[in-house]
Amino acid sequence: MSRVKRGVTAHARHKKVLKAAKGYRGRSNSSFRIAIEKVEKGLQYAYRDRRVRKRNFRALWIQRINAGVREHGLTYGRFINGLKLSGIDLDRKVMADLAVHEPEAFKALVAQAQDALAKQA
């Protein structure tokens, strides 16, 4: 059997890893042995943080809604309860966008939630 020389595949693998390590500091972007560790760790962070990003955005939307609702004398929890009672089904992303960019439309939402809470009480 003839022997297998791996020069081409090894070079391609090194190139792929070092390309992924571009922008890293120190020897992490030039030394293959260190770069492969950093790239693998970076991919682990990317996998984990794709899920964390969803949590962070939901938390941000809730903070924005809460800030907008408190201007009208209501809390976030009471506002959401009022919306459920009045049958309005909007997601938090849309409500946060309304609170920031369309304060008049958001004020109408708050008014409907307050009416529903008043009828329930």
Domain extent for 41: 7-120
Low-confidence ranges of the chain (pLDDT < 70): none
DSSP state of 5: P
pTM of the predicted protein model: 0.82
Indicate the number of domains in the chain.
Answer: 1
Q: Is residue 40 part of a domain?
A: yes
Q: Is residue 2 part of a domain?
A: no
> How many Å apart are CA 45 and CA 49, to the nearest integer?
6
Q: What is the CATH number of the domain that holds 88?
A: 1.10.1900.20
pLDDT of residue 6: 86
Q: Is residue 23 part of a domain?
A: yes
Q: Is residue 1 part of a domain?
A: no
pLDDT, tens digit, for every residue of 67-97? Answer: 999 999 999 999 999 999 999 999 999 999 9
Both structure tokens of 36: 């492969």
DSSP state of 61: H
> How many Å apart are CA 99 and CA 39, to the nearest integer?
40
Q: Is residue 81 part of a domain?
A: yes
pLDDT of residue 120: 87
pLDDT of residue 56: 98
pLDDT of residue 87: 95
Q: Is residue 53 part of a domain?
A: yes
